[in-house]
Amino acid sequence: MKRIAMMGCPNVGKSVLFSRLTGVNVISSNYPGTTVDFTKGYTHIGGEKFELIDVPGTYSLEPISKAEEVARTMLQEADIIINVVDATHMERNLYLTLEILGMKKPTIIALNLSDEAKHIGIDIDVRHLEKLLGVPVVPTCAISGEGVKELTLKLRAAKQSEQIKPMTEEERWRKIGDIIRKVQVVHHRHHTIREHIADITVKPATGIPIAVIVIFLIFLFIIRIGNLIIEYLMDPIFYDYYGPWIVGVVNTFYPKGLVHEILIGKSTLESLDFTQSFGLLTTGLYVPFDMVLPFVVTFYLMLSLLEDTGYLPRLAVLVDTGLHKLGLHGSAIVPTILGLGCNVPGALATRIMETEKQRFIAATLMAIAVPCMAQSAMIFGILGKYGMRWILMVYGTLALLYISLGLVLKRIIKGESPELLLEVPPYRKPDPVTLLKKTWTKAYGFLVEAVPFVLLGVFVMNLLYISGVIELLSGLFSPVLTTLLGLPKEAIVALIMGFLRKDIAVGMLLPLGMTPQQLTISCVILSTYFPCVATFVVLLKELGIRDMLKATGLMLIVSLTVGVLMRAILI
């Protein structure tokens, strides 16, 4: 099977084009560097099957970051290259194009965002460009799908360029200037409204208040809408329909005994118990579907909106100064925000940081102080009834940890913390269908990944209870838990579960009859002491075993220290 590599600069719409060609949903956003890992897909063109690879965006083939090293290797292994060029920024995109053409691989160029280029007054003579480059050029608009068919039809015409020879950097820039002069005409135009808005959101006097309002509204939306979904949709489904039905079914086949206990715990028809019964079919489904999913959906809807409009890079600019004090720079806002959804993509996104030092700090701070949405949903769920101040205390403590740890790590970790250098893309109007699709993809991803783990966790926990292992462990750890942290020794079950899934782990605190103070301390410890297994695996891959050991040590020390301090203050 022939392999096609899709290459281009960051944020030119490669991923959207890739989805168009393969039907595989790829996460794309209006932010440079979303594709840090490569994605594979398959496509049939004229009866032949091709393997298509979405290569991370790079500005050149001489690697500056990890993503660009990947790109170079992918190019060498491909049979055909589709070079995606942003028609609105042709000049700088052509540098990569000339490098690719110099590699003498069969190449075809997709001149993407052609419609937008026309819209802002850029005329490109495509035929002339084809002649100068010596390979086919197809204007496309990936978002609407225009030109995609022509691209596949012309794929067979992809060829090595005879016109473009390998050349030095200076020659390449001269050649680009030459090409641009011949094929591109830019018509003068005035500032558009969108550009005025763009300026307002990066100027500090207006941008900072706007950022505060935007973030506040987003949180309000996530919490309000999430709660509405629970109250009017999920709770009725669970309490009025699913609950009575499943308890009836289980009672019919297993009126009592071990299986009954594992499936629905102490739930009865008279008192449905979804939160504390700890059955596979009660708590095991209620936690992911009812308590967590609604917030995951609202979170990803908001995140997609932030990504697709292009607001994130502006936020990165505004928080840059603050993050510098923590040894990071503005771009670190991306792994942090992604981490608020799920720490796994957050950990992957630390790759957009340039140096090892920055990647380590960004990943460690996220793993310790950024709770994922699943965990947050459960924290709201169990602390909400005691009042807002306990929830604020958990998040306030975590925020304080993020800042103070960053201040320390900046000083003790060796290496460089370079400055921000980031393209701020123009605002784009998000497409509602794409938004919903993206939200659905992420919510579905959550279900596929979370539900099996939650069920496994509930099952294992039941076995541990029945076999008496829990009792043994609670005895063993009671010096730490009870003496140092002031928690009931049974809280060990939540900590054990936390290795697997943080959401269900928080849920396990409920039956322990703790005071709000104890719950608050437990929530902070659960967030900080160790990442869940999925995050751990990714972090291990990203940081390497030595740095991961360092990070893990830090987590344990930090969470114990904070727990003891909180106990001294609260209890």
Q: What is the binding site for another protein (CB under 8 A)? A: 9, 59-60, 62, 64, 88-89, 91-92, 95-96, 120, 169, 173, 198-199, 202-204, 207, 313, 316-318, 320-321, 329-330, 418-426
List beta partners, residue 7.
83
Token reading at 531: 């990442």
Using the minimum distance from each CB to another protein, give the nearer residue, 418 or 544: 418
Among all chains, which residue has been given the structure tokens 């003790």?
A: 412
3-state secondary structure of 346: helix
State which H helix or E strand residue 137 sits in.
Answer: strand 137-139
Phi/psi class of residue 50: alpha, beta or left (left: φ > 0; alpha: ψ in -120 to 50)?
beta
- Closest by CA to 113, choosing from 141, 92, 144, is 141
From the CB of 207, what's the least distance to another protein, in Å?
Answer: 7
Position 467, amino acid? S
Using the minimum distance from each CB to another protein, give the nearer residue, 357 or 502: 357
The number of residues making up the chain comes to 571
From the CB of 100, what's the least distance to another protein, in Å?
Answer: 13
From the CB of 420, what's the least distance to another protein, in Å?
Answer: 5
From the CB of 187, what's the least distance to another protein, in Å?
Answer: 12
- Closest by CA to 107, choosing from 161, 71, 179, is 161
Token reading at 369: 């102080």
Using the minimum distance from each CB to another protein, give the nearer residue, 21 or 315: 315
Among all chains, which residue has been given the structure tokens 């329909």?
A: 241
Helices (H), 230-355: 235-236, 243-253, 258-264, 283-286, 293-309, 311-324, 333-341, 343-349
Distance CA 54, CA 159 (A): 20
From the CB of 169, what's the least distance to another protein, in Å?
Answer: 6
3-state secondary structure of 315: helix
From the CB of 417, what's the least distance to another protein, in Å?
Answer: 10
From the CB of 198, what's the least distance to another protein, in Å?
Answer: 7
Using the minimum distance from each CB to another protein, give the nearer residue, 322 or 511: 322
Token reading at 486: 């002031």
Using the minimum distance from each CB to another protein, give the nearer residue, 356 or 471: 356
Distance CA 514, CA 517 (A): 8
Token reading at 95: 């540098």
Using the minimum distance from each CB to another protein, give the nearer residue, 57 or 339: 57
Distance CA 463, CA 465 (A): 5
Using the minimum distance from each CB to another protein, give the nearer residue, 425 or 507: 425
Distance CA 55, CA 18 (A): 10
From the CB of 485, what's the least distance to another protein, in Å?
Answer: 39
**β-strand pairing of 107-112 with 48-54:** unpaired
Using the minimum distance from each CB to another protein, give the nearer residue, 265 or 425: 425
Using the minimum distance from each CB to another protein, give the nearer residue, 341 or 425: 425
Using the minimum distance from each CB to another protein, give the nearer residue, 177 or 236: 177
From the CB of 354, what's the least distance to another protein, in Å?
Answer: 10
CB atoms within 10 A of CB 144: 12
- For residue 371, give the DSSP letter: -
Using the minimum distance from each CB to another protein, give the nearer residue, 2 or 89: 89
- Closest by CA to 382, choosing from 291, 253, 257, is 291
Distance CA 188, CA 96 (A): 27
From the CB of 456, what's the least distance to another protein, in Å?
Answer: 44
From the CB of 426, what's the least distance to another protein, in Å?
Answer: 8
Distance CA 337, CA 350 (A): 11
The CA-based dihedral angle spanning residues 281, 282, 284, 289, taken in that order and rounded to the nearest 10 degrees:
100
From the CB of 190, what's the least distance to another protein, in Å?
Answer: 13
Using the minimum distance from each CB to another protein, give the nearer residue, 120 or 464: 120
